[in-house]
Structure 1
Amino acid sequence: MDDKQKLLVIIGPTAVGKTKLSIELAKRFNGEIISGDSMQIYRGMDIGTAKITCDEMEGISHHLIDIKDPDENFSVAEFQLLVRAKIKEIADRGKLPIIAGGTGLYIQSVIYDYKFADVPGDEKFRRQLEEKADRIGAEALYKELEKLDPKGAAVVHPNNVRRVIRALEIFHLTGRTMQEFQSTQQSDPLYQTAIVGLIIEREKLYQRINSRVDLMMEKGLLQEVTMLYQKGLRNCQSIQAIGYKEIYDYLDGKISLPQAIENLKQNSRRYAKRQLTWFRNKMNVKWFNITDVNDYEKKIEEISHYVEGKLRIKSNTY
């Protein structure tokens, strides 16, 4: 185990407090942070993705943020290559690589030996599904996936047409669900990994999510999305992100702004639930409940001791 590269991973549902913890642990363990969020890679999509600001970084180096334009695609396979390269680069500097984020499949693809070249493809079938999505809507396609693979559908957003199509394509070719196909590729982790998961009481989490959406609107989420809308961006992977699709529906005149905001809150809460389902079923996580804010410092110490023991490293004294 000791000959493997050490890696710290911080996961949890949206709005739980991963950013704050990642900064604290990066200070304690001389680390650099790699974003594990599949949407923070996009430039100009700052408010809706709750992207960390320069001030919030507190001097800690961050990676895989603002590396793509919103009209570019980004795959799990590309994420895997980029993150593994960053892990080596950070380790070569004598620092601890820390992945912080909430996109389960992306993080899982880094830790385990997923070989995406082995995943089959059928371009003709994929085009048929894309045309079907345009004709009858993404929701109908998502319902097809729910019938074939309820567990897989539970961790995919209905608006993420690309992921839905990919799951249907793999089932079409192999007769297996995406999860069944992936399970045949998993083995021991490639890294000596400590996975820290944050949780809080559900009602408090939902309150945080709702408050975060209100704050996003105050900060100018509508203006941010309107700029993308006016550039003619549509049918892009980036625009399927929660916080953008809902505002697009408003700008298209389909719903009112209050309804768009309510949809955003509801979709964020559902996403948080799907994130927890994924992490609990797919990864070996050590969970820490941080509901009690008065106990936060004590909880930080508890998490630090866990990381020290799991990775066999010592924290800095400062």
Structure 2
Amino acid sequence: MMNRNEKIPVVAVVGPTASGKSRLAVWIALQTDGEVISADSMQIYKGMDIGTAKPTKEEMRGVPHHLIDFADPSRPFSVADYVSLASECISEVYSRGKLPILVGGTGLYIRSLLRNIQFIEADRDEKLREELTRKAEREGPEALVAELESFDPESAKRIDPHNIVRLVRAIEIYRTSGITMTEQLRRSKEAPSPYDACMIGLDFKDRQTLYNRINLRVDKMMEEGLLQEAKEVLSQSGSQAALQAIGYKELLPYFNGQYSLEEAVEKIKRETRRYAKRQLTWFRRDTDVHWIIIDESMDFDSVVEQAMQFIYRKGWFHE
């Protein structure tokens, strides 16, 4: 039974793609009477099932899952949107006496939520967004990085230089509010977090083991129909989400006759491996993460056992 605490207890299962986060989160939920809340910036979108590795009904094992498969890929969805929805979801799950279990590899979502980042509203300027997006298409994302660097060098250094959506948003915030994203973040950290979090990270003793899992997952996605799913999603007008998502954007040159299918699939694998490396770099910076390092001799029961030890140490449960 879970103790009622001043702060809301939250488990967060983090780590790179294909590391087994979703499976672990489900098993934690089964043992703690919890519910799963996704922290994946692509699993939120409708129609993008195979390429984002959304858990199937069988994989959910009857555990309620939230914040999956609800957003329109053609509409903007911000970190602030996620934090607002996830905060409501956590409160609702906890109010029913259930343990909220976050799971995902979108580090910015998880950090912003658990640290209670307060987002200052800045006006949206669709015309400016289009102008900046076209600039990135013409001159490459480096042009946006250079512009951002001129007034907010910290954000220019912090944001992934290939993430055009976030680069555009950082420039838009400054242009419409006169306040840099860095200053907004500084102001936003003044409110204390309402959460008592137990962060559990998954990694592998041998990095090649993770890369092999990624390669196999991509092959499985292709067998399950990723090609057709990508064709349908990319054909929708204004589907900016798919153009940003690994597994979809790499297939666009194939559909345009620029790559062979084999080359496109290999690029998906390569980009996914690179993404996993960036995820690990992000989460490794967070000293609050309790890491489970998996080697080939470790079975899944041992992973669950280690995770539960970290959770029970928090003192949330009593007999």
With normalisation by structure 2, the TM-score equals 0.86
**Residue identity in the other structure for 1:152:** R
2:78 paired residue number: 75
Matched, 1:213 2:233: no
Aligned residues of 1:157 and 1:271 also touching (Cα < 8 A): no
SS of residue paired to 2:100: strand
| Alpha-carbon distance in structure 1 between the residues aligned to 2:33 and 2:119 | 32
> Which of 106, 117, 138 is the equivalent residue of 1:114?
117
2:279 paired residue number: 275
> Which of 28, 34, 38 is the equivalent residue of 1:35?
38
| Alpha-carbon distance in structure 2 between the residues aligned to 1:277 and 1:313 | 32
| Alpha-carbon distance in structure 1 between the residues aligned to 2:47 and 2:55 | 13
1:282 deviation in Å?
A: 4.2
1:44 paired residue number: 47
Aligned residues of 1:152 and 1:179 also touching (Cα < 8 A): no
Q: How does 1:133-144 map to 2 (within 5 A)?
A: 133-138=136-141, 141=144
| Alpha-carbon distance in structure 2 between the residues aligned to 1:314 and 1:204 | 38
Matched, 1:304 2:308: yes
1:43 deviation in Å?
A: 1.3
Residue 218 to residue 103, structure 1, CA distance change in 2 (3 Å): same
Q: CA RMSD in A?
A: 2.8
SS of residue paired to 1:267: helix
> Which of 198, 209, 212 is the equivalent residue of 1:194?
198
| Alpha-carbon distance in structure 2 between the residues aligned to 1:314 and 1:262 | 50
Matched, 1:152 2:155: no
2:209 paired residue number: 204
**Residue identity in the other structure for 1:91:** Y
Q: How does 1:163-202 map to 2 (within 5 A)?
A: 163-169=166-172, 182-186=185-189, 188-200=192-204, 201-202=206-207
Aligned residues of 2:233 and 2:242 also touching (Cα < 8 A): no
Aligned residues of 1:6 and 1:311 also touching (Cα < 8 A): no
**Residue identity in the other structure for 1:226:** K
SS of residue paired to 1:116: coil
2:23 paired residue number: 20
| Alpha-carbon distance in structure 2 between the residues aligned to 1:307 and 1:146 | 41
1:10 paired residue number: 13
1:91 deviation in Å?
A: 0.8
SS of residue paired to 1:52: coil
Structure 2 gaps of 5+ residues are none
Residue 127 to residue 73, structure 1, CA distance change in 2 (3 Å): closer
Deviation by residue 1:4-46 (Cα, 9 ceiling, x = unmatched): 1111111000000001100110011100000110111111111
Structure 1 gaps of 5+ residues are none
> Which of 54, 59, 62 is the equivalent residue of 2:65?
62
Aligned residues of 1:32 and 1:96 also touching (Cα < 8 A): yes
1:294 paired residue number: 298
| Alpha-carbon distance in structure 2 between the residues aligned to 1:161 and 1:256 | 26
| Alpha-carbon distance in structure 1 between the residues aligned to 2:287 and 2:129 | 30
| Alpha-carbon distance in structure 2 between the residues aligned to 1:139 and 1:214 | 32
1:291 deviation in Å?
A: 2.3
1:224 paired residue number: 229
1:185 deviation in Å?
A: 3.0
SS of residue paired to 1:239: helix
| Alpha-carbon distance in structure 2 between the residues aligned to 1:181 and 1:101 | 25
1:248 paired residue number: 252
SS of residue paired to 2:68: coil
| Alpha-carbon distance in structure 1 between the residues aligned to 2:49 and 2:14 | 20
Aligned residues of 2:87 and 2:113 also touching (Cα < 8 A): yes
1:266 paired residue number: 270
| Alpha-carbon distance in structure 1 between the residues aligned to 2:283 and 2:161 | 15
Aligned residues of 1:26 and 1:60 also touching (Cα < 8 A): yes
Aligned residues of 2:234 and 2:242 also touching (Cα < 8 A): no
1:118 deviation in Å?
A: 5.4
Matched, 1:132 2:139: no
| Alpha-carbon distance in structure 1 between the residues aligned to 2:95 and 2:39 | 20
Aligned residues of 2:242 and 2:249 also touching (Cα < 8 A): no
Aligned residues of 2:15 and 2:104 also touching (Cα < 8 A): yes
Residue 311 to residue 43, structure 1, CA distance change in 2 (3 Å): farther
**Residue identity in the other structure for 1:269:** R
1:139 deviation in Å?
A: 6.1
